[in-house]
Amino acid sequence: MKEKLSIEEIHKLISLMREGFSYLSKLKEKDPVGKHINYFKVPSTLSESIAIHLLRRQQILPALSDMTFEHNNKEADIVAKNGDDIVNIEIKATAESAFQNLGKKDIQADYIIWLHFGAYFKDVEQTQISAYIITKPELYFKEPGKINLSKLKEMVSDVETVDIDISKL
């Protein structure tokens, strides 16, 4: 089971990610061959930890405020429970590429929370990311596959968007 990060650990990991992105950017500029170096993916431990803190603080999905949240359960990335009521939540995260793979488990979840960091790791002045919340993804996605954020916004008519100031987490 992946360990949920504390707020302090989230900020530390973000700082390390920003250092890494800065270093890779310098390598890419330094040598033409550097263009073949890929930036890091957003670690699932980071995105899931941010999501669980946002859920507990009711900054996203406030309708689930009476539920407890379990991190990285076998059924879903986050499982919300209240008695016999169970809500499965899958977490996705992207940086500038904004591409994700939606699997069968994602499509069958009650919610997908897509945290989009954009240029957040490259731009140290940036403090906000966006959370896109898809309710009942099976209504929009029939088959697993790749999707980008702009296509998601076209396909999902009722996608909820919440801007999150990570510096205030």
Residue 28's SS3 state is helix
Q: What is the pTM of this model?
A: 0.94
Structure tokens at 157: 């008519």
Q: What is the pLDDT of residue 71?
A: 83
Angle, alpha carbons 31-32-38 (nearest 5°):
90
According to DSSP, the residues that pair with 73 across neighbouring strands are none
- For 157, list phi and psi in degrees, rounded to 5: -65, -30
Mean pLDDT rounded to a whole number for the chain: 94
How far apart are the two ends of the chain, measured CA to CA in Å?
A: 23
Q: What is the pLDDT of residue 87?
A: 97
Q: Which domain holds residue 67?
A: 7-168
pLDDT in tens, 62-99: 999 999 998 866 889 999 999 999 999 999 999 998 99
- Please answer whether residues 164 and 54 qualify as being in contact, where contact means their C-beta atoms are separated by less than 8 angstroms: yes
Residue 1 within any structural domain of the chain: no
Q: How confident is the model at residue 16 (pLDDT cuts 50, 70, 90)?
A: very high
pLDDT in tens, 128-158: 999 999 999 999 999 999 999 999 999 998 9
Structure tokens at 44: 């699932």
pLDDT at residue 1 greater than cutoff 60:
no
The alpha carbons of the chain give a radius of gyration, in whole angstroms, of 16
Residue 76 within any structural domain of the chain: yes
Residue 148 within any structural domain of the chain: yes
According to DSSP, the residues that pair with 71 across neighbouring strands are 78
Structure tokens at 11: 């900020």
Number of structural domains, the chain? 1
β-strand pairing of 78-82 with 68-71? antiparallel
Q: What is the pLDDT of residue 72?
A: 65
Residue 2 within any structural domain of the chain: no
Residue 56 within any structural domain of the chain: yes
Q: What is the pLDDT of residue 110?
A: 98
- Please answer whether residues 49 and 93 qualify as being in contact, where contact means their C-beta atoms are separated by less than 8 angstroms: no
pLDDT in tens, 27-52: 999 999 999 999 989 999 999 999 99
- Please answer whether residues 92 and 115 qualify as being in contact, where contact means their C-beta atoms are separated by less than 8 angstroms: yes
